[in-house]
Amino acid sequence: MYKILLSRTAEKNLDKIDLKYKPHIFAALFDLRKDPNQGKKLKGKFKDYFSLRVGPYRIIYKIFKKELNILVIRIGQRQGIYK
């Protein structure tokens, strides 16, 4: 099972998320530990990253298979998350 690591940016993003969606975000992060490839592979400057949709929010993360870690770099709404 993979370990979830949050960047400082992701931690700050998580604090700003609507309380209505926080349980869904945490459930998605918990599920990622079992199956990290469930997100969509990104392109361009985020080519090594994945995006997982949770309601109006996106979780942007990178998988480190050797270490069995998942680094979440950002959590936020689609319109500003990829900048």
Q: Mean pLDDT per 10-residue run, the chain (83 residues)?
A: 97 94 96 95 93 96 97 91 72
Phi, psi of 13 (to 5 degrees): -60, -40
Fold held by 3-77: YaeB-like fold (3.30.2310)
What does the angle CA 42 – CA 17 – CA 26 come to, to the nearest 5 degrees? 70
What is the phi-psi region of residue 79: left when phi exceeds 0, alpha when psi lies from -120 to 50, beta otherwise?
alpha
Distance CA 67, CA 53 (A): 24
For the entire predicted model, the pTM comes to 0.92
pLDDT of residue 79: 84
